């Protein structure tokens, strides 16, 4: 993902439902725990009676509320997580993946929606806490959280401490004026044109690479307009000062969905990365349970509907894998 490097302060915890107990990370289940879980699954005892209520502004609300418990998967949830509930962390402020609802309390977006869907598939209570992006993996390591879901790229460095259940494929996009008057479909279409970027950001690096590709084909290079932030770059496109700007695909989709932006998102093929749901390496067995839950959501159609509700269906993977990133 292409997050800015500025620190975002944790904005507190959102916890709804029954009181959650037990704050340590889970280990393996004892034989007696396994037998109890199997007995509960056989009787259909796991339910969503204590599920985290879905915020009214959550676009995938209807999809989430229709999810039923997978009794076999629920039986495999470690006893400590079953007792304490699923403790999820995310980093709010990256729409449409995660954002605050208008009440400033509820967290909505693709990631919190998927977390809620997973918890319901496993029949678990859930809490979700906003955390600064770079503090989330340490939170898994310390046992403060069971799972992180925050548009995090599954890569080799992070896999040294974290197991990832891969859930979407994310790339980049051009944001152009509504109607795409310059007919931009590929990076080469912008050779010789003005492209707005965030100075020092990943968009600037991409523009530089695309500009070199133009030169290599004896075409005029990009006229790169370096600006302070995304808002300024978007405004440059809206005002006609630039033909396009570059950003993450889901962010471009969210921006273009606002009629006031007068813009359109054009996906850039290639340079995609796999984003994963993070679980500490010490909880590798639970990662397999989460993988099963995501795959079950894929199989029953809930996963696709959830992504579509947020307008990012093109990010979908065909299969839930573990540690499948580059």
For residues 158 and 147, give the distance between their C-alpha atoms in angstroms, rounded to a whole number: 14
Handedness of CA 287, 290, 296, 298 (dihedral sign): negative
Q: What whole-number distance in Å separates Cα of residue 256 and Cα of residue 218?
A: 33
Give all strands of the β-sheet with 194-198 in edge-to-edge order: 13-15, 126-130, 86-90, 147-153, 263-280, 162-177, 244-248, 194-198, 223-227
65, 71 Cβ separation under 8 angstroms: no
What integer pLDDT is reported at residue 3 of this predicted model?
A: 57
pLDDT of residue 273: 85
| pLDDT of amino acid 55 | 97
Low-confidence ranges of the chain (pLDDT < 70): 1-44, 201
Contacts for 324 with CB less than 8 Å, ≥ 6 apart: 154, 164, 166, 274, 276
Give the Cα separation of 227 and 204 in Å (integer).
Answer: 10
pLDDT for the residue numbered 39: 53
Q: What is the pLDDT of residue 208?
A: 95
pLDDT digits (tens, 9 = 90+) for 117-159: 999 999 999 999 999 888 999 999 999 999 999 988 898 989 9
Residue with tokens 């069971």: 146
Q: Which pair of structure tokens corresponds to residue 321?
A: 């894998």
CA distance 264 to 163: 35
Single out the residue of 186, 192, 154 nearest to residue 267, CA to CA.
Answer: 186
- Determine the length of the chain: 326
Written as six digits, the tokens of 185 are: 């479909």
β-pairing verdict for 244-248 and 162-177:
antiparallel
What's the confidence (pLDDT) of residue 28? 46
Whether 263 contacts 178, CB under 8 Å: yes
Whether residue 115 contacts residue 291, with contact meaning beta carbons closer than 8 Å, is answered with: no
Handedness of CA 317, 318, 322, 325 (dihedral sign): negative
Residue 269 in tokens: 């093929």
The domains of the chain, with CATH numbers, are 13-170+273-315 (3.40.190.10), 171-272 (3.40.190.10)
């Amino acid at each position: 993902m292409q997050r800015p490097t500025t620190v975002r302060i944790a904005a507190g915890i959102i916890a709804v439902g029954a009181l959650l107990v037990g704050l340590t990370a889970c280990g393996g289940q004892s034989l007696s725990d396994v037998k109890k879980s199997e007995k509960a699954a056989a009787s259909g005892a796991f339910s969503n009676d204590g599920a985290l209520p879905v915020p009214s502004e959550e676009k995938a609300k209807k999809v989430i509320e229709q999810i039923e418990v997978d009794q076999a998967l629920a039986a495999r949830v470690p006893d400590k997580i079953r007792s304490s509930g699923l403790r999820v962390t995310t980093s709010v402020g990256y729409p449409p993946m995660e954002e605050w609802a208008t009440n400033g309390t509820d967290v909505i977006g693709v990631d919190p929606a998927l977390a809620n869907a997973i918890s319901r598939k496993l029949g678990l209570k859930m809490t979700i806490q906003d955390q600064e992006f770079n503090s989330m993996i340490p939170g898994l390591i310390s046992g403060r959280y069971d799972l992180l879901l925050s548009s995090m790229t599954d890569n080799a460095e992070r896999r040294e401490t974290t197991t990832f259940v891969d859930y979407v494929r994310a790339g980049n996009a051009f944001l152009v004026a509504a109607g795409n008057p310059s007919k931009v479909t590929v990076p080469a279409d912008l050779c010789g044109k003005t492209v707005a970027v965030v100075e020092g950001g990943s968009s600037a690096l991409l523009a530089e690479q695309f500009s070199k590709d133009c030169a290599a084909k004896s075409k005029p290079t990009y006229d790169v307009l370096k600006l302070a932030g995304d808002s300024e770059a978007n405004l440059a496109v809206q005002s006609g000062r630039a033909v396009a700007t570059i950003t993450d695909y889901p962010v471009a989709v969210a921006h273009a969905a606002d009629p006031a932006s007068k813009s359109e998102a054009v996906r850039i093929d290639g340079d995609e990365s796999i984003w994963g749901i993070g679980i500490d390496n010490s909880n590798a067995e639970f990662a397999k349970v989460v993988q099963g839950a995501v795959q079950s959501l894929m199989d029953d159609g809930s996963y696709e509907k959830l992504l579509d509700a947020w307008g990012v269906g093109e990010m979908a993977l065909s299969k839930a894998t573990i540690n499948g990133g580059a």
